[in-house]
Structure 1
Amino acid sequence: MTHSVLIGLLLGAGFALSLWLTVYGALPSPPGRRTAQRRRWRLPLQASGRQWLVAAVTAALTTAFTGWPVAGLLAMVGVLTLPRLLGRDRQAAARTTRLEAVAIWAEMLRDTLSAAAGLEQAILATAPIAPPALREQTARLAARIDDGHPLGEALRTFADEVDDATCDMVTAALVMAAERQARQLSGLLGQLAAATREQVTMRLKTEAGRGRVRTSVRVITCTTLGMAGGLVVLNRPYLDPYESAEGQLVLALVGGLFALAFWWLMKIATLEEEPRVLKAVRPAPGEAGVR
């Protein structure tokens, strides 16, 4: 009777945890409040519906094969998190590509402004030929300018769409030029482009070093999972103690410790992003942009 109660409590706790994780991963972040600290500690469970379906099926099959509800819960969490842990760091690669695009676009603006063109004309001229990583945002920026939006407001919206700290620096220079007629904008854009290229080079070197850490993470993870799977398939009697309710509690504790270790390894191998400087910055009411 005691074992039945413990198993029931364990199943209920596992269901509640899975439900909480589902809701937590599905809810979008409130606009304007997605801070760098929240990004750093947010669980990597922004999965698609197909991933959740695969995770649920895997959990059901694991539970049916082993008879352990905790193993099913751990399998579901593994399906949702291990692809990001073992796969390529797509976010870092996308950030590097975006930084290169910002540097190229800043140089394009500099060269166009050097030909005695105005800021609005330079933006409209470079928007269709901007690098692919920024082309969608620059196209919307050009559309807002064509629709008659104040240039400063359009640039701030552009910065929010790109959502990148380095792009904020370039955009801030453009906003200053648009609203306060800043001088030497071409030279400033050239310096920002050069600084951005140096940052790209530094990130590539850093990512190369962290690539070794990610490789170690993959080796440790695959070895651990391979050993666990081998014991389940080839030496099941060795795992008989986990058949009891106490064994399931111990398995939950061990699985939680491994999950915490894997999360910590992934955090070590992840580059932290710089805070933005133009986030939630808006002109005072009634302030008119100078074109």
Structure 2
Amino acid sequence: MPWLLATGSAARRIAKLEALGEWTQRLSDVLRLGLGLQQALVSGRKNAPPALHGEVSELADKLQAGWQAREALEDFAQQVDDVTADKVCAALALCAIDSGPGLAQALEDLAASVRDEVAARRTIEADRAKSRTAVRWMTIISLLVVLAGFAVPHYTAPYATGLGQLVLALLGGAFAAVLAWMRSLAGHRPVPRFLVSDPRSRVRQPAAQGVSP
């Protein structure tokens, strides 16, 4: 039932992805004006897209507070939580480590690919919405039939027996299984992110003198 009633999560994901493409394009335009990467990231919060305003503002605050650009960008990608954001932040992080020409063009190409992905996701979500609507109406009609059975006792009388209860349980289980199957078919399967921190790569701090590790 929550899956049938929830319709805004996919729209929010797509809106955030669209804002990411717009932010990437603006970064490319600013870099073409001759600003450095860190200056472009800090000034980007002035006209950040509404769907990403909080994340972009926090990124700028961390850079101004002295964070390394790579760490701030990894944290930004963690907040957006999308593999497309990982691609953008990976390109920016590589430039922060080893700056060179071509970043503006690379960001412009990334922005174009993000726009194409947004269009594809909108098409996919429209098809998923059709399936969700069909299942929602099927569920409503089934519930109305069940409620109508209380108004017509002789119609549901066979289900009062032991065999009828077993049949009713099987029908209910089958209906729930169909809903779960439809949810798995029409659900969102995010692509695994690659810009994630691995706890196995953490460097252990040396133990203090006199204290066993």
Task: Classify 1:168/1:238 alpha carbon distance in 2 versus 1 (closer, same or farther; 3 Å).
Answer: same
Aligned twin of 2:152:
235
Note the residue ranges of structure 1 that are not aligned, 5 or more in a row.
1-81, 286-291
Aligned to 1:108: 26
Distance, in Å, in 1 between the alignment partners of 2:194 and 2:152 is 57
Does the 8 A contact of 1:168 with 1:276 survive in 2? yes
Mapped to 2, the partners of 1:278 and 1:248 lie a distance apart of 52
Q: How much has 1:241 moved relative to structure 2?
A: 4.3
- Which residue matches 1:269? 186
Question: Does residue 1:146 correspond to 2:69, yes or no?
Answer: no
Aligned letter for 1:127? R
Partner of 2:121: 203
In structure 2, what is the equivalent of residue 280 of structure 1?
A: 197
What TM-score, normalized by structure 1, do the two folds share?
0.64
Equivalent in 216, 226, 249 of residue 144 of structure 2: 226
Runs of 4 or more, structure 1, over 3 Å off, are 240-253, 281-285
For residues 37-96 of structure 1, what are the alpha-carbon distances to aligned partners after superposition, in whole Å with 9 as ceiling and x for unaligned? xxxxxxxxxxxxxxxxxxxxxxxxxxxxxxxxxxxxxxxxxxxxx2431x3521211111
Report the alpha carbon displacement of residue 112 of structure 1 after superposing the two structures with TM: 0.8
The one-character-per-residue Cα deviations of 1:232-275 (angstroms, maximum 9, x if unpaired) are 2x212333344456654543333222111112122222232211
Matched to 2:168, the amino acid is L
Deviations 1:166-193 (A, max 9, x none): 1111011011011122431100100000
Cα distance in 2, alignment partners of residues 146 and 250 from structure 1: 66
Instruction: Find out whether 1:164 has 2:82 as its counterpart.
Output: yes
Question: Mean alpha-carbon deviation: is it higher for 256-265 or for 110-119?
Answer: 256-265
Residue 254 in structure 1 maps to residue 171 in structure 2: yes
Query: Does the aligned pair in 2 maintain the 1:101–1:132 contact within 8 Å?
Result: yes
In the alignment, is residue 84 of structure 1 matched against residue 3 of structure 2? yes
RMSD across aligned positions (CA): 2.2
Greater alpha carbon shift after TM alignment, 162-171 vs 257-266: 257-266
Mapped partners of 1:144, 1:249: distance in 2: 61
Structure 2, unaligned runs of 5 or more = 204-213
Per the TM alignment, residue 129 of structure 1 is displaced from its structure 2 partner at its CA by 1.8
Percent sequence identity is 37
Aligned partner of 1:12 in structure 2 is none
Could you tell me whether the CA contact under 8 Å between 1:176 and 1:182 is conserved in 2? no
TM-score, structure 2 normalization: 0.85
- With over 3 angstroms needed to count, the CA separation of the structure-2 counterparts of 1:96 and 1:185, relative to structure 1, is same
